[in-house]
Structure 1
Amino acid sequence: MIALVSAHRDRKRDGNFSTLIRAELCLFIGLGTVSIFFGTGSRLVEIVAHPVGLIVIFLWLFAVILWSAVSVARHADCLAIKWGEPYGTLVLTLSAITIEVVMVSTAMLHGENNPTLGRDSIFSVIMIALAGFVGLVLLLGGLRHGEQYYNLQGVNSYLNVIMTLAVLCLVLPNFTTTTGDSTFSAEQQIFLIVVSIILYAIFLLIQTMRHRGYFMESEQAGVTAGPAHHLLRVQSTAFHMPQEFGGAMIAALVLTPEGIGAVQATLRNQLQRSINILLGSVLATIGLTIPAVLTISLVTKRPVTLGVHGGNLPLLLLTLAVCVVTFTSRKTNILQGCVHLLLFAVFVLLIFAP
């Protein structure tokens, strides 16, 4: 009898271990990838010198990073269910944006000097989130639920801070005269670092403590219950891709898990959660990535170009204005989603045909 109980426990333990392996397979794949890259050393440089090898390694790295990012979002989503709004969305947002900060910082510290990488990634996050995913969320939500409702005070709080920091960080450098080439002086960089961190900290205080109700689901929304569910620059150059392509790839890797979560939420008629995820991602990107990029610039003496140029400048301002118009009432429909998706299409067009 004791032997049977012991055997049963062993089988249960083995089953739990195999379940853990399957659930966290991406972790082991990621660790294996890191080990291989550290072990190959100079051999890896020889491999990427050939176009076929470069394509294979690029696809491999992209898939592993994306899989890992989705896994991080899955764990964050479990915490979101446990803690509720707005803490759950905040965990998901910060976990994804931390990935972006690490990727951009690593590329700046160890790659070739690319003064526009930080700007391109931040601008891409803004456009992919506010134009692409917001448009998709509004379109799918409108098709399934007709009109959807959200909390107006919460969205206004997001847009108020996003518009302020976006213009200060991405537009103002084009008009300052202390330095040229759309850059900030050291004094201006320090000021912007402090302002960005303080303003984001104040927003978090409002979101998590003082006015939590602003970021809760609207009472008019009928919630449908459901299960919760340096290399980039080298590759862009090798394939003669536009320089902005590297920043767009970083943004896509960061936002894909959050975009999936936002779409799932809106299909359950939880538009406020979708808005918290997407607008929170944009705000965290500006509030955290900008200080990181500027701090690295000050420490390493590498210049950083932040000002958005060409057709991207009016596109950025138009996107912010459209967001204000979209979220002036407490409900949305498919027309607004189509307008946002049109702006996203223009963003993609300008990457390859500026």
Structure 2
Amino acid sequence: MPTPSLPRTVLTPTAVFRLALGWGAFLATVLAAPVLSGPLTAPALWTVLAGIVAVIVVCAFGVVGQAEHLARRLGDPYGTLVLTLSIVLIEVVLIAAVMLGPGEHATIARDSVMAVSMIILNLVVGTALLVGGLRHADLRPNRTGVSAYLALLVVLLAVAFAFPGLIGTGGAYRPGQAVALAALTVVLYGFFLVRQTGAQRADFQEVRPSPVAAHRPRDPGAEPEPAGAAARHRPEVVARTLLLVATVLPIVLLSHHMAALLDDGLARAGAPVALSGVVIAMIVFLPETITTVRAALGGEIQRVSNLCHGALVSTVGLTVPAVLTIGLVTGQRVILAESPAHLVLLGTSLLLTAVTFGGRRVTALHGSAHLMVFVLYGLAVFS
């Protein structure tokens, strides 16, 4: 039986439809910008927002599918790293684009990264552990890998949110401090990537096979590839990576394009404006959230950590140097220092993560505790 050609294997009708839908919706919002920028009636406003969210959800499932194919071909941590870096890099570029645009955006990086931190550490992790713990009784993370993530997160989040208020001026680093910390953050993050994909790769792999996969009928096309077979599938890996990025990009662009509409809608509903950043961050990381929950349902608890904690390490490790550099080049003030309430919530989240993943196994009860912290964050946003 002839093997299907690579374009037909990767660019399936469904994948093409999702690409056309995502980019078509983005083009429509660009062309309709003069209309959308004007005052809209409440029904029209919420209809447009609902349409954008629907398109994002459809595209998100396409991203998840490509990520799962890559995870099977590359294995962890490479498989999850492709999805994580695709989303995080685009997010960093968009934050940089906002800062380089007109107007003052002194707190855009702080607000975005804080929202992402609380969503990943508590909402996504909590949901994944809850659904995974209810299905599987013995979920054992690779504690060495989680410990490595936490070591970096403690340092990077302190650099991002705590130290600007302690050693900086008005919540922002001085130029000399910004240069040193931007360079050190890049070096630390680069060293982390080298170790994660090299000598310490085993620390980020599952402790034991997925309990679901162990009882599945063997499917040669769905099994992780041996190390020697990677080169054979290089064209497919490259093609799927490009398709993943092409599907992720309209998701992020639509999310940020809808920010003004969402701000308008929340203002009409009497909700705090800060809620807009939380909603945008949730939509941007929707593909990664879906992938994380599916990994938890499959019993792949270390993949949950790789997707969540790895994404946050990448977000902070790339965003902080980028915004500090832009601030130095353009002379903009970059305020990073967080409020005491948010610092307490962040510290609680990191401590809870250490307790959750430091035990012999994780359970649904741990997930409920993380979700409780996210509720507290929601209360802080509305206070």
Q: 1:18-43: per-residue Cα shift (whole Å, max 9, x none)?
A: x8343222211232234334444534
Counterpart-to-counterpart distance in 2, 1:38 and 1:268: 40
**Superposition pairs of residues 276-315 of structure 1, within 5 angstroms:** 276-315=306-345
Contact 1:72 1:95 (8 Å CA) reproduced: no
Counterpart-to-counterpart distance in 1, 2:53 and 2:260: 14
| Paired AA for residue 91 in structure 1 | V
* SS in structure 1 at match of 2:280: helix
Residues 109 and 51 from structure 1, CA distance in 2 versus in 1: closer, same or farther, beyond 3 angstroms?
farther
* SS in structure 2 at match of 1:307: coil
Return the match for 1:318 from 320, 328, 348: 348
Residues 40 and 132 from structure 1, CA distance in 2 versus in 1: closer, same or farther, beyond 3 angstroms?
closer
Q: 1:71-127: per-residue Cα shift (whole Å, max 9, x none)?
A: 334323221111111110111111121232233223333364232221111111111
1:340 matched residue in structure 2:
370
* SS in structure 2 at match of 1:269: coil
The farther-off stretch of 291-300 and 145-154 is 291-300
Corresponding position: 1:22 with 2:22 = no
Residues 289 and 72 from structure 1, CA distance in 2 versus in 1: closer, same or farther, beyond 3 angstroms?
farther
Residues 284 and 69 from structure 1, CA distance in 2 versus in 1: closer, same or farther, beyond 3 angstroms?
farther
Return the match for 2:285 from 255, 264, 282: 255
| Paired AA for residue 205 in structure 2 | M
Contact 1:116 1:304 (8 Å CA) reproduced: yes
1:95 matched residue in structure 2:
86
Contact 1:130 1:278 (8 Å CA) reproduced: yes
* SS in structure 2 at match of 1:175: helix
Equivalent residue pairs, number? 335
| Paired AA for residue 202 in structure 2 | G
Corresponding position: 1:122 with 2:122 = no
The farther-off stretch of 146-155 and 103-112 is 103-112
Counterpart-to-counterpart distance in 1, 2:56 and 2:109: 19
Structure 2 alignment gaps of length 5 or more: 223-255
* SS in structure 1 at match of 2:12: helix
| Paired AA for residue 184 in structure 1 | Y
Contact 1:86 1:207 (8 Å CA) reproduced: yes
Residues 92 and 233 from structure 1, CA distance in 2 versus in 1: closer, same or farther, beyond 3 angstroms?
closer
Counterpart-to-counterpart distance in 2, 1:279 and 1:107: 26
**Superposition pairs of residues 141-290 of structure 1, within 5 angstroms:** 141-177=132-168, 179-180=169-170, 182-219=171-208, 222=211, 224=213, 231=257, 234-235=260-261, 237-238=263-264, 239-240=266-267, 241-290=271-320
Scaled by the length of structure 2, the TM-score of the pair is: 0.79
* SS in structure 1 at match of 2:167: coil
Return the match for 1:104 from 95, 102, 123: 95
| Paired AA for residue 24 in structure 2 | G
Q: 1:134-177: per-residue Cα shift (whole Å, max 9, x none)?
A: 11222222211123111111110110001110011111112124
Structure having greater relative contact order (Cα 8 Å, sep ≥ 6) = 2
* SS in structure 2 at match of 1:330: coil
Larger radius of gyration: 1
The structural deviation recorded for 1:272 is 0.8
| Paired AA for residue 211 in structure 1 | Q
Counterpart-to-counterpart distance in 2, 1:66 and 1:341: 22
Scaled by the length of structure 1, the TM-score of the pair is: 0.85
Q: Percent identity?
A: 35
Counterpart-to-counterpart distance in 2, 1:111 and 1:69: 30
2:62 matched residue in structure 1:
71
The farther-off stretch of 35-44 and 241-250 is 35-44
Over the aligned positions, Cα root-mean-square deviation in angstroms equals 2.6
Contact 2:76 2:205 (8 Å CA) reproduced: yes
Q: 1:2-29: per-residue Cα shift (whole Å, max 9, x none)?
A: xxxxxxxxxx99xx69x83432222112
Counterpart-to-counterpart distance in 2, 1:73 and 1:348: 27
2:129 matched residue in structure 1:
138
Q: 1:21-67: per-residue Cα shift (whole Å, max 9, x none)?
A: 43222211232234334444534433x55544443433333443454
